[in-house]
Structure 1
């Protein structure tokens, strides 16, 4: 499961396919929820996080704040 993002990136001929990991799936789902206006409590419940700080760290790169580094 953790290699799926790099396989997809390779198929799409994206640069730096090694930068895409299973961790990206978790980050992406949290970010998509935040972009959709879902509250932080629901995001925490979705991902199983207890810490608001951790959850906010995962969604800090939502639309308009995209991180271009690995």
Structure 2
């Protein structure tokens, strides 16, 4: 059974011994770093609204169980 792919001796760009000459392969990662533009600050209004909605939901559920325990419901 032979290995898939071309024979190592027939591959262009290989030096004797199987190494690759410098500059023959692309770099591992891009050569840019950092952000291209400043990121906007997230709004603080949405988390405050969610906090208020969760607080109201907790109060409604707590009221349900209190009324259920008193047997008014």
How would you bin the TM-score normalised by the shorter chain? under 0.3
- Structure number with greater Rg is 2
Q: How does the TM-score come out when normalised to structure 1?
A: 0.25
Q: How does the TM-score come out when normalised to structure 2?
A: 0.24
